[in-house]
Amino acid sequence: MEKPVIIGVGYTRIGEHWEKSLRDLAVEAALMALDNAGVNRVDAIYVSNMMSGALQDQEHLGSLIATYLGLKGTPACKVEAACASGGMAIHQAFLAVSSGYYDTVLIVGVEKMTDKLTSEVTFALAMAEDREYVVSTGATFVGLNALLYRLYLTKFNVGQKSIAKFPVIAHENALNAPHAQLKRKISVEDVLSSPIIADPIRLLECAPIGDGAAALVISSPEVAKESPKDTYIEIAGSAAATDIMSLHERLDLLTLFASVKAAQKAYKMAKVKPSDVDVLEVHDAFSILAPIALEDLGFAKKGEGWKMIENMDVSLSGKLPTNTMGGLKARGHPVGATGIYQAVDAILQLKGEAGKNQVDNPTLALLQSTGGVGGTVVVNILKRG
């Protein structure tokens, strides 16, 4: 099986886009990706989004975006897997192109969050959990992640200061990322003195609310040969998995089974191992998810992911540069688009276009896209062709 390749990339800056609608953002990123790929037609469109129904009273995004791109007749649909929607859209495009059914697919990830009150966005985000049995109790995602955080600190005898270094590194990386939402340096002291949102999670350990859109054009290698690009990015491995949806029903709260499962399948497909990865993108919606991801993806032993953060192994100059443009914490987290932004950031690195954040000659990147508290995880592995 010949692996699909990414031939076009487009994205908007993440932030508060009061002057632009959801469709405006999606079309802007999509047109940029199509132009970057040198194509004006595609065989299908996948729109990754989580909350358009709840926040914009708008569904049927496939037809909406196809209409405003002038691509009447093109099959199109929305892909939703909570915060893993973007990663899942890449996975679905990978399957469609690998099968030979489609030659070229456009993926557009988009979310418009800042037009609503924080309480409304929080309620919409909670739709990724079991509404009847969990959310009805008053539980929120920050609260659920706080349970993981407290358990991790207690079980592995870790100080919060070590994990708080991760958002500090993220903000450092975002300073030179042109599309990042939060461009200001912070310290560990800033993190630990910021307000408690759900004990022990502090404000500066949480990803912000923002608007944004990112897009990719994925094609067969045959189509890529016709592209004017001299460098393309291969999707070497792509796998998705689920876990028991709610934490209270799981046997091991500190292992995201879906992350382990998807990673194992993606590594096998790509014929690589964790030590081959040069650049990593993890889902750091809350800082505690970073050490857990490092462990589940095979980069650290269980209970020792925090050591990689403490030792700065995940910094730009470290052994495993992670979230090199700021990740969800500082680049931003427009939910439905986040998995696509992860791909964009990795592609910039693999093509040597990451500017001041450029890592030395990377050839392989791994992206972890997480929905809910690990209810769905997608792992995509990108390789420089």
pLDDT at residue 125 in the model: 96
Q: Are residues 245 and 278 in the same domain?
A: yes
Shared-domain flag, residues 266 and 325: yes
DSSP letters, 208-275, are PP-BEEEEEEEE-HHHHHTSS-S--EEEEEEEEEE--SSGGG-S-TTS-HHHHHHHHHHHHHHT--GG
pLDDT along the chain (385 residues), means of 10: 93 98 98 96 98 98 98 98 98 98 98 96 95 93 96 98 98 98 98 98 98 98 78 94 96 97 98 98 98 98 98 98 98 98 98 97 98 98 94
Residues 149 and 182 in one domain: yes
What pLDDT, on a 0 to 100 scale, did the predictor assign at position 385? 78
* Catalytic annotation present for 283: no
Same domain, 67 and 163: no
Same domain, 88 and 201: no
Owning domain of residue 153:
125-206+235-384
Residue 308: strand, helix, or coil: helix
Whether 227 and 249 share a structural domain:
no
Are 362 and 278 contacting, i.e. CB atoms less than 8 angstroms apart?
yes
Looking at the fold, whether 197 and 61 belong to one and the same domain comes out as no
**Which residue is catalytic, options 17, 91, 171, 333?**
333
pLDDT of residue 229: 64
Query: Which CATH number do you get for residue 352?
Result: 3.40.47.10
Ordered strands of the 104-111 beta sheet: 76-79, 44-48, 104-111, 212-219, 5-11, 233-242, 376-384, 364-371, 279-281
Same domain (yes/no): 52, 155: no
Whether residues 104 and 216 share a domain: the answer is yes
Residue 77 annotated among the catalytic residues of the structure: no
Number of domains in the chain: 2
Tell me how far CA of residue 289 lies from CA of 7, 124, 286, 292, 330, in angstroms. Answer: 31, 21, 6, 5, 15
For residue 92, which phi and psi values (nearest 5 degrees)? -65, -40
The residue annotated as part of the active site, out of 83, 91, 179, 206, is: 83
The phi and psi torsions of 188 (rounded to 5 degrees) equal -60, -40
